[in-house]
Chains A and B, each alone.
Chain A
Amino acid sequence: MVGSPAHPVDLAALIAATMLPFASFLAILVVTRGRPRLSAWLSIGSVTITLACSIALLALHSGLTTPIGFSADLIGSSGLNIPFGFLLDRLNLLMIVVVSTICFLVQVYSLGYMAGDPGFSRYYAFMSLFTWAMMSLAVSANLLQLYFFWELVGLSSYLLIGFWYEKFSATQAGKKAFVMTRAGDAAFFIGILLLFIHTGDLGIVNLDSRAALAGVPPSFITLSALLIFGGIVGKSAQFPLLTWLPDAMEGPTPVSALLHSATMVAAGVYLFARLFPFFSMSAVAMSVFLAIGTISMLLASTMAMVSRDIKKVWAFSTISQLGFMIMALGAGSYFAGVFHLTTHAGFKALLFLCSGVFIHRFETNDVYELSRLGAKRMLIPMVTMVLGAAALSGLPPLSGYFSKEAVMGSLAGLPNPVWLGAGLAGVFLTAYYSFRLIFILLFPRETAVTIPVGTPSPPPQAAGIPAGAPGAWAMAVPLIVLATITVVLGFFETPLKNFIGAGMLAGGSVGGEALSWTPLAALALALAGVGLAWVEFGRKGARQIGFVDRIPILHRLFAERWYIDRFYGLLVNLVIDRGISRLCYLNDRKVIDGGIDGLCEGAVESGRVMAVLQTGMVQYRLLAIFAVLALLALYFYY
């Protein structure tokens, strides 16, 4: 069934890696809610074990050829043979290592960041819940099991975004995130059901093998691929459902670093990679994925250019980088997507953690405020921030360059040049907005820079977090580790390619033959972007107003997130809330209730009439009796 059966050691490691965080979640919630310190160490302890296990598994099975599987029959209902179990192959191993490292680093970082917060133990409980859900999602063998943990990841993101539930905007953002991802999940769920009805078995290995799906009509494969892609759009905040990610910045910064940059949003791309052979069976679907990836990449980068909130900039950039990954995978290059996923997880987490340090120190999200308050004097976060931004824009020595180049290579392979052009434009914009931020931070301006009205000023962060010194090391160490990763990872491209590429099942072209000039063009555009940013923000005399800000209409368009938010607001409030449900409610109250209550009133009224009839004079009654008897006698003749 699923490759060679796992022998006990692997199984034990896997169970420890996934189940331990869940145990710590329950333990914290039930037992150690009172003692924050203990619950923090409990959660970090379970994460370290998870990290150790995943690294051990990676080391043990680096040479792995066939996927290892284990399955138990959990839901034994008759018609459904949905076995629950684990699946290990090269992609999983890489994914669980990435996830556990980032989780470990963020949890250590949160020791400092969240120190003194009243809900400290609750925070760690939700963190271990997320770790459990994400790890199990990564190793699940069955599409339904994946969906099971997929929704649990959505739940933990809801809980963590709305962590400071006193703030109305936080709970609002949490609700918005949950409902939007839920919309995506609904499509995913329908896709799974269709798949299950037609193929009868949801095992991922089974779905990927071309033989198993021979009998299934191609039009159906496209439909179910598109539906499953709906789930990816929801979770990775792609084009139609992207507005929840910037609002999700309401949550604490480590949460944004962990969930909304490295791991959770990457789950969508992971699913794409997971089902890559299945998706690649239908060319139509792949082109649709490519298109959506491109649109969301361009859209998000334009929004990033105008945003003043440091976290929102990185949120928009995450959406655009995810767009890049999906473009790469849509273009048919499996390795480029996965490699970019790994590197992006590294430097994006780094960027978020650095901005976390700034916010923690100066308690404001506004970039101009931060620079005026002297963000650049904090050495470690500033240097690592610059390093991260460079990696993001794809400057040579860093990992971003290599993965961006691999993506560009895959785009170049496509017959239609449009995708390549969009990709290059994206590279340019990425470089521009990331270094726009860096230069604003590096060159503070005393005068308050007037920005055309309309940009929503970011709400002040919960002021309850004192910038304590003891937490400093806890925040610094993860930054340094991540910085080294971003620098070093680039050079591992070839071994990773062999590891990922070779392990790939049949099918899937590994990066088209790279056109000679694309990497150079990409580098040139990146430098141009940096140059433009320097001209507008870095130079002594620059008035730190982006070229976009000069055109108010364009500025408002990007600031309003292309009015998508407004559209959703309209849809929910007017159409559903005030429109349909009011009609249904009225129908309930007036039509059904009215009708039946009216019937009862009618009965009571007729009762009153009957009662009055009784009180007539005696002789009328005699007459009535006689009349009825006569009628009955006459009735005989009919």
Chain B
Amino acid sequence: MQMEPASFPFLSAILLSCVVGMMAIILIPEERQLLIKQVSGVFSGISLLLSLYVFFAFNRSLGGVQFVEHLNWIPSLGISYFNGVDGFSVPNILLTGIVFFTGVLTMWELKTRVKEYFALYFLLVAGVYGLFMSMDLFFIFVWYDVSLFPMYLLIAVWGTTRKEYGAMKLTLYLLAGSALILPAIIFLWAKSGLNTFSFVLLMHPGLFTPSVQKFAFLLLFLGFGILAGVWPLHTWSPDGHVAAPHGVSMVHAGVLMKIGAFGVLRVAIMLCPLGWIYWAKLMAVLAVIGIIYGALVGLRQTDLKYVIGYSSVSHMGVVGLGLSTVTVEGLNGAVFQMFAHGIMTALLFSSVGYIYDRTHTKMIPELGGLSRVVPVASAFFIVAALAGIGLPGLANFWGELVVFLAAFKVYPLFGVIAVVTLVVSALFMLRVVQKAFYGPANPRYAGLQDVTLWLGTPRIILAAVLLILGLYPSLLFNVIRTASVPFMNGLPR
């Protein structure tokens, strides 16, 4: 795993842009709401540009870990501020940048307590960025929790339905996850005997005995799995989605669930490959149940956000299935699906947000006939819904294709179940689109004006990304490949 130090510390610059943005927002007086929004727009734009630069400047041929920044932090325990990106984390950083920028724009019409909202929002995204770029186990855990506690306040204060319950449930679930991760990380640190938390050193094959790897993998998989919405532990995510305001649920569903999957990939799989091979069957079973379960329960929902919540559970099941196949395609497909699902869910929530701000209701029976009244806004939702079904021409298709292909090689039965779910998810997504958007023009919402260009930009960006990746997927696959191929070759059989 060769490392290439960064000429200019881009990764810390991204982190800095979030933290400085937060400070700037805190300093602006509460009444200047527009100024706060503009400042947050500017800073999120900067972080997006930086992550775009990192994505395109990432040397595809060299692979390995790039843009490395290393700083000793607590030498006695071997903890170091060690940032770097490889094939797996570059797409996620770009995803965070996009969802962050569009999330800020989506909440442009927020009126209540704007300052605190954006300050906490920046802190949340700083935590997410930190986790994706850090190569030090200690810092992965620190950033994981940093992104956790603003989530509580964001949902509890600005949330919608059942916000206290949703916020408390979400925070306790995620903290229960961290209650499993921390012992595992320290256990690995203690068992390695190298007195270092740096991920690259711990990845040295043969460092841990198989029994250690199995135990640590189980703890890490359950810990991060809670966040990734693995089947039995997923009930917090629909409640969390529904309770959160749109900007937050964009980041929440779009990126936070990816932290869970990324955590499983980065910490659990790369550090304990034998554990991974041992537990792969369990992962596959839980993932497939998640896929079929999310789609089926989605059928029953009458609240738009619940539908999206359960569809995210189903899509994260696809990611889990990809990870559980212990093959190169499985990893490629899973990481691609993480990216595609992130963008799609962000678009879904952003358009629901727009509709909710106008109609003040998320219940599908009350909506209906919107397509005639606000054609462009509903068009965005329909595009996202089609991406959700996995229609070719949009990004999700490639993720699911590669994952199902890998799944077929290893678990043919699970592959069949997963493909059949495509039909069920088509049914429930189109049913939502039909009930909420088609049908006779609804007199109650006659007065709504359609989305203006400025308000539409976040959704246009997201839809464009979905389309570009749909037509030219190797843009992303080449990056992911640089990390998955060397990792899988080095895997002890």
Please state if A80 and B404 are interface contacts (CB–CB under 8 Å): no
Q: Interface size of A by Cβ–Cβ distance < 8 Å?
A: 49
B20: interface (CB < 8 Å) = no
Bound complex: CA A300 to CA B302 (Å): 37
Beta-carbon nearest neighbor of A592 in chain B: B235
Minimal beta-carbon separation of A197 from chain B (angstroms): 6
Assess whether B474 is interfacial by the CB under 8 Å rule. yes
Q: Please determine whether B296 and A580 come into contact, CB atoms closer than 8 angstroms.
A: yes
User: Cβ of B210: which chain A residues have Cβ within 8 Å of it?
Assistant: none
Instruction: Check A189/B297 contact, CB under 8 A, given A77-B329, A78-B328, A197-B409.
Output: no
CB distance A584 to B293 under 8 Å? yes
Contact A194 B408 (CB under 8 A): yes
Given A166-B439, A576-B296, check contact A78 B481 (CB 8 Å): yes
Query: B422 to A165, Cβ gap below 8 A?
Result: no
Among B371, B408, B423, B430, contact of A197 (Cβ-Cβ < 8 Å): B408
A402 at the interface (CB under 8 A from B): no
Decide yes or no whether B420 CB sits under 8 A from chain A.
yes
Please state if A576 and B424 are interface contacts (CB–CB under 8 Å): yes
**Minimum C-beta distance from B133 to chain A (A):** 24
Query: Judging by beta carbons under 8 Å apart, are B485 and A585 in contact?
Result: no
Interface residues on chain B, size class = 35 or more
Q: Provide the B411-431 mask, 1 if CB < 8 A to any CB of A, else 0.
A: 000011001101110110011
Q: Shortest CB–CB separation between residue A348 and chain B, in angstroms?
A: 28
Shortest Cβ distance from B306 into A: residue: A585
A103-111, A170-178, A622-630: which one contacts chain B? A170-178
Which residues of chain B from 369 to 398 have a CB within 8 Å of any chain A CB?
369, 371-372, 386, 389, 391-393, 397-398
Taken residue by residue from 311 to 331, chain B's Cβ proximity to chain A (1 for < 8 Å, 0 otherwise) reads as 000000000000000011100
Q: Is the CB of A593 within 8 A of B372?
A: no
The segment from A68-76, A491-499, A556-564, A609-617 that touches chain B is A68-76
- Are A592 and B419 also in contact (CB < 8 A) when A74-B472, A78-B485 are? no
From the candidates A148, A580, A584, name the one contacting B392 in the complex (CB within 8 A): A148
State A174–B481 Cα separation when bound (angstroms).
Answer: 39
Partner of B300, one of A149, A572, A585: A585
Which of the segments A53-61, A179-187, A336-344 contacts the partner chain? A179-187
Contacts of B438 in A (CB 8 A): 162, 165-166, 168, 171
For A165, list chain B residues within 8 Å (CB).
371-372, 437-439
A residues in contact with B485, CB < 8 Å? 78
B419 x A596 contact (CB < 8 A): no
Q: Say yes or no for B477: interface residue by CB 8 A criterion.
A: yes
Q: Is A151 an interface residue (CB 8 A)?
A: yes
Q: Does B405 have its Cβ within 8 Å of any Cβ on chain A?
A: yes
A194 to chain B, nearest CB (A): 7
The answer to the question of B441 belonging to the interface, with a C-beta cut-off of 8 Å to chain A, is yes
Complex Cα gap A75–B333 (Å): 12
- Which A residues are CB-close (under 8 A) to B437? 165
Q: How far is the CB of B332 from chain A (nearest CB, A)?
A: 5
CB < 8 Å neighbour of B419 from A149, A152, A186:
A186
CB distance from B461 to the nearest CB of A (A): 15
Across-interface contacts of B426 in A (CB, < 8 A)? 178-179, 182
| Distance in Å: Cβ of B488 to nearest Cβ of chain A | 9
The answer on a CB contact under 8 Å between B393 and A585 is: no
Asked if B347 CB lies within 8 Å of chain A CBs, one says: no
Interface membership of B299, Cβ < 8 A: yes
Closest residue on chain B to residue A29 by CB atoms: B379
- Cα(A75)–Cα(B438), bound, Å: 35
Q: Does B484 belong to the interface (CB within 8 Å)?
A: yes
Complex Cα gap A152–B389 (Å): 12
Q: Of the candidates B296, B402, B423, B440, which one forms a contact with A183 in the assembled complex, judged by CB atoms under 8 Å apart?
A: B423
Q: Is A8 an interface residue (CB 8 A)?
A: no
* A171 and B439 form a contact (CB under 8 A): yes
Q: In the complex, what residues of B have CB within 8 A of residue A193's CB?
A: 404-405, 408, 415, 419
Q: Compute how far the CA of A186 lies from the CA of B427 in the bound complex, rounded to whole angstroms.
A: 13
Asked if B474 contacts A73 (CB within 8 A), the reply is: yes
Q: Answer yes or no: A196 CB below 8 A from chain B CBs.
A: yes
Asked if A584 contacts B296 (CB within 8 A), the reply is yes
**Does residue B478 face the partner (Cβ distance < 8 Å to A)?**
yes
Q: Does B232 contact A (CB under 8 A)?
A: yes
| C-alpha spacing A149/B471, complex, angstroms | 12
Q: Quote the shortest CB–CB distance from A391 to chain B (angstroms).
A: 36
Tell me if A155 is interfacial: C-beta within 8 Å of chain B.
Answer: yes
* Distance in angstroms between the alpha carbons of A584 and B234 in the assembled complex: 13
B41 within 8 A of A: no
B443 CB to closest chain A CB (Å) equals: 13
Contact B481 A77 (CB under 8 A): yes
A588 to chain B, nearest CB (A): 6
Answer whether residue A540 sits at the interface, using C-beta atoms and an 8 A cutoff: no
Which listed residue, B296, B372, B419, touches A190 by the CB 8 Å rule?
A: B419
Contact between B329 and A79, CB atoms less than 8 A apart: yes
**Nearest CB to that of B371 among chain A residues?**
A165
- Can you list 8 A-B contacts (CB < 8 A)? A151-B391, A165-B437, A179-B430, A186-B422, A193-B419, A576-B299, A577-B300, A581-B299
A-side interface residues toward B, CB under 8 Å?
73-80, 144, 147-149, 151-152, 155, 158, 162, 165-166, 168, 171-172, 174-175, 178-179, 182-183, 185-186, 189-190, 193-194, 196-197, 572, 576-577, 580-582, 584-585, 588, 592-593, 596, 600
New contact pairs (14) apart from A76-B474, A183-B423, CB-CB < 8 Å? A75-B473, A77-B329, A78-B328, A148-B393, A162-B438, A165-B439, A175-B431, A182-B389, A190-B419, A193-B408, A197-B409, A581-B296, A581-B300, A584-B300
What are the 9 A-B residue pairs with the smallest beta carbon separation, nearest first? A76-B474, A165-B438, A77-B477, A581-B296, A171-B438, A581-B299, A148-B392, A79-B329, A585-B300
